Structure 1
């Protein structure tokens, strides 16, 4: 309880020094934090990155056991499992439809990325805006003081102004890093979705055999004759 009171007092002091700009930055940080927590839970429930079961199902399909592979796909912990099961029961004519379904699944997981990107871009700009406003106030106070300018007062006004930039950067940098990590995870999911679709529609067991060069048969026959 004491820690919460200290945090509350610190936030109030920060708002008192930085003004409404810091208040907006803090609200953006809370919003971004909520989105990040939601995405982490969503990724966990969707089984993002859990590709081992999908790879096992594809290996079974390549061996020619499509029914067993479909069963493995349906029980896979990944959100791509149902897509693989559907692809295993389809032919090449369903390729476009499967890609559309995959993109719909991925788009749901990418929801909120634009908001995080907006926070990462707006927070430092708000901080810079607050700094400009603070510098304006500081130099206006210096002008009003005339010859009786107190350097300590001017310095205090400047560091308070710069604090808004620091607050904006403190929010933008971790949000940008987390967004890059989330986007990397989704890029891996998109590659896996393509692997799932193509691997199910064209398994290795169904790959066409290598054409035999007629000259090879002639050479073999000649060798036997000799």
Structure 2
């Protein structure tokens, strides 16, 4: 398959269209990276936190349970911190908060680049359109009274390509960023709830406030 038509199409949009094309490739790469990373972190696995909390409420140690999700790891950390003789209540809370923050930071990886792409892609498209319009009207002025309106129309639609391309990249990037943020916020709420329950059960020592803040 010849790539000549693609390069011809890209050349019509000028440098701005090439920048937007690079941003689209970066957005796609970030999407696959985050899906794989979230799957490995266990973001979609069934958590064992309820079982861990139930065992802790009965006064039993969770034992050698392998934490499969971010929620499991925070819950297990809270229980283990309370079981550590050298930890006081405040130290146990701080350790749980530290792990919760680390888990949430891992879930939010890639969020800033996506937000940046969503912000600058339309601006790059608008810049390409403005530059294209300047070129089109300049060509119209140079042609004088014998200007062909079809030439001007062709220059305008080619310039508008970059605006459409910029929006086409920004919308998926923004949606992906919102999806990641929503997932992280949901996990944060679960972590706060689980940590609070661990620290407020009769077996626990003190309540923990906003463990994932």
Say whether the fold is shared (TM-score over 0.5).
yes
Give me the whole-angstrom Cα distance separating, in 1, the residues matched to 2:204 and 2:68.
27
2:17 pairs with 1:25: no
In structure 2, distance between residues paired with 1:77 and 1:30: 32
Ranges in structure 2 where 5+ consecutive residues have no aligned partner? 83-88, 206-213
Deviation track 1:46-82 (CA, whole Å, cap 9, x = no partner) reads 01143542123223333x1431xx237x324203323
Runs of 4+, deviation exceeding 4 Å? 204-207
Cα deviation digits, residues 111-170 of structure 1 (max 9, x gap): 211101000111000000000000000100110111011111000000000010000000
More helix by share: 1
Higher alpha-carbon deviation: 95-104 or 77-86: 77-86
**Structure 1 stretch displaced more, 98-107 or 149-158:** 98-107
The CA deviation at 1:10 is 4.5
**Does the Cα contact within 8 Å between 1:49 and 1:185 map onto a contact in 2?**
no
Please name the residue that 1:186 is paired with: 184
Mark the structure with the bigger radius of gyration: 1
| Alpha-carbon separation, structure 1, partners of 2:195 and 2:46 | 14
Aligned length: 198
SS state at 2:48 partner:
helix
Contiguous gaps of at least 5 residues in structure 1: 208-226
The whole-number CA distance in structure 2 between the counterparts of 1:204 and 1:130 is 64
Q: 2:104 aligns with which of 103, 106, 112?
A: 106
Whether the 8 Å CA contact 2:75–2:194 is kept in 1: the answer is yes
- Seen in structure 2, the aligned counterparts of structure 1 residues 76 and 135 have a Cα distance that, compared at 3 Å, is same
2:200 to 202, 205, 213: 202
Contact kept in structure 1, 2:20 and 2:166, CA below 8 Å = yes
Task: Decide which of 60, 66, 70 is 1:66's aligned counterpart.
Answer: 60
Q: Does 1:12 align with 2:7?
A: yes
| Deviates further, 90-99 or 198-207 | 198-207
- Could you tell me how far 1:87 is from its partner in structure 2? 1.1
Task: Report the equivalent of 1:218.
Answer: none
User: So what's the TM-score if we normalise by structure 2?
Assistant: 0.85
Checking the alignment, whether the CA contact within 8 Å between 1:28 and 1:119 is kept in structure 2 is yes
SS state at 2:13 partner: helix
1:40 paired residue number: 35
User: RMSD over aligned Cα, in angstroms?
Assistant: 2.0
Q: What is the 5 A alignment of 1:122-201? A: 122-201=120-199
Q: Secondary structure at the match of 1:146?
A: helix
Shift of the 33–41 alpha-carbon distance from structure 1 to 2, 3 Å rule, reads same
Cα distance in 2, alignment partners of residues 130 and 201 from structure 1: 57
